[in-house]
Every structure is written in C-alpha cells, then in structure tokens.
Amino acid sequence: MKKIATLDHYAASLLVAESIADVVRTEKNACLGLATGGSMELVYANLVEFFEKDGVSFGRVTTVNLDEYIGLPPSHLQSYRHYMNSHFFDLVDIDKANTCIPPGMEAPEAALAAFQKFLGSHPRDFQLLGVGANGHIGFNEPGAFFEANAHIVTLDECTRKDNSRFFGSIDEVPRQAITMGIGDIMKASKIMLLVRGDNKKEALRELISHDRVDPRVPCTVLKLHSDVTVVYPEKLAP
C-alpha cells in the first residue's frame, strides 16, 4: 500500500484528480468507479478544470458509482445521482448513458440485480474511495464479515448522523442504501482512497499503522489489494 501525506486537502484532491486524468488519458475506454461525499467535491472540481482548460475528455469514459440511498429520487438534492450530475457529469463531455448509479427509487431487488449485472460486465481500471468515520467504504458498514457482492445495507446510526449534515435533520436521512460489496471494490485494477476530516483519523490509523485486517473497520481490507494508494493531509497522519 502506498501512502501519500499532502500539505492539505486541496493538494490531496489535486493529486487524486491528476491520477484519474492519467487513467483517462492512458486507457482508451476507461471505466472508473466513483465516489461521493464532501471529500470528493474538490476532486471533481479539478477534473472539470482539466476538461475545460487542458482538454481532458470523458467522452469515451464509463463510470459506476459505489452506492446510492434507497428511497431518494434522482432529483433529490442529496441523492448521489444528483450529486454526480451537478458536480461532474453535467459539467464535462461524458455521455450519461455510460454512467451507472443504482436507482434509489426503483424496487430495491430489481435495482440491485441490474447493478450487480453492470458490475460483472464492466471491469474497473480505477476505483475512487472515501471513508466513513467508522471506516466504511462505499456503504459497507462495520460488521462481523465482509460482504463480497453488491447488496442492500441498513445504514449505521453513526453514518446517518455524519451524513445528516447534508439533510435538514437526521430523520430525513434514508435508512437503507445499495452499495458495491467489498469484493466488487477489490476487483478494480487500481484503488485510491482520499481521506478528509478529523473524524476519519482513527480509521486512517487502523488502515496505515499496522497490518491487521478487521471487518469492524472495513477500509482495512484494502491492505490485501496490490495497487492501493491512500492520500491524506499530513495533519491527519497517525
């Protein structure tokens, strides 16, 4: 595992965006696994800038997102479809037909089956990851074991509380989501995890300070992947 401590979150986001742009330039029909959350906003802002100023094109790129809340329509400001459209897809030359985010309003079992099928037929060159304060990746919450495949998850109260800052109140935060499984995440050729926020310090320490893999801190599974880079502002270093 490669660890990169940067001056601040801006430098970390720029580095991650440059890595994504490299994949897009190198792979003719790149498939990117994407993530949402406050941590990713500057990554997408940088990619939009690369598109506008440096001619980086997403015209041949396919994307698949990690997860989506169940019960939020795509028009909902906090749905991950809305997040991706407004921060990235609407601002670059990507064909939205080539962007996969499980639909939160469809019957969950049908949405899940379609998501699993898409993942099975689209190997990812790159997977972008953030991390929850409890160590979750995607919406793979702490548990007794790792779930390999995409699945429906009941969100941890810690996650609902953390994410309630984007909603009017915690009661508005959905209780369930569809997420890629740990096995899906680990299948990507290259993984980059961007850590932002003092509340992620403990998860970062579990990830980079020792070799233990523990389903109670899901991000620790990344230690088993052969091409993972963890990027974080130096003030979060353990």
* 33, 104, 132, 233: which one binds ligand GLP (CB under 6 A): 132
For residues 152 and 176, the answer to whether their CB atoms sit within 8 Å is yes
Is 46 tagged catalytic? Answer: no
Could you say whether residue 163 binds ligand GLP (CB under 6 A)? yes
Task: Choose, from 136, 140, 147, 151, the residue flagged as catalytic.
Answer: 136
In a 3-state reduction of DSSP, which class is residue 209? coil
**Token digits for 39?**
């941590």
Nearer to ligand GLP, 66 or 182 (CB): 66
Task: Choose, from 68, 141, 162, 206, the residue flagged as catalytic.
Answer: 141
For residues 91 and 104, the answer to whether their CB atoms sit within 8 Å is no
Could you say whether residue 103 binds ligand GLP (CB under 6 A)? no
Helix pair angle (80-87, 41-54), 10° resolution:
30
**Token digits for 53?**
């100023």
**Which positions from 177 to 206 touch ligand GLP by CB under 6 A, shown as an x/- string?**
--------------------x---------
Q: Report how far apart, in Å, the C-alpha atoms of 44 and of each of 17, 204, 216 are.
A: 7, 22, 30
Shortest Å distance, C-beta 200 to ligand GLP = 7
Could you say whether residue 127 binds ligand GLP (CB under 6 A)? no
∠ CA 15-99-73, rounded to 5°: 110
Shortest Å distance, C-beta 59 to ligand GLP = 26
Shortest Å distance, C-beta 67 to ligand GLP = 5
Is 211 tagged catalytic? Answer: no
Nearer to ligand GLP, 38 or 215 (CB): 38
> Going edge to edge, which strands form the sheet with 31-34?
2-6, 228-233, 191-194, 126-129, 31-34, 62-65, 99-100
Could you say whether residue 131 binds ligand GLP (CB under 6 A)? yes
Could you say whether residue 139 binds ligand GLP (CB under 6 A)? yes
Identify which of 144, 142, 169 has the alpha carbon closest to the alpha carbon of residue 154.
Answer: 142
Contact region for ligand GLP (CB under 6 A) — 35-43, 70-78, 101-109, 221-229? 35-43
For residues 236 and 163, the answer to whether their CB atoms sit within 8 Å is no
Could you say whether residue 138 binds ligand GLP (CB under 6 A)? yes
Could you say whether residue 33 binds ligand GLP (CB under 6 A)? no
Measured CA to CA, the distance from residue 160 to residue 101 in angstroms comes to: 20
Is 18 tagged catalytic? Answer: no
Is 199 tagged catalytic? Answer: no
Which residues would be at the binding site for ligand GLP (CB under 6 A)?
A: 35-39, 66-67, 130-132, 138-139, 159, 163, 197
Catalytic sites, residue numbers: 67, 134, 136, 141
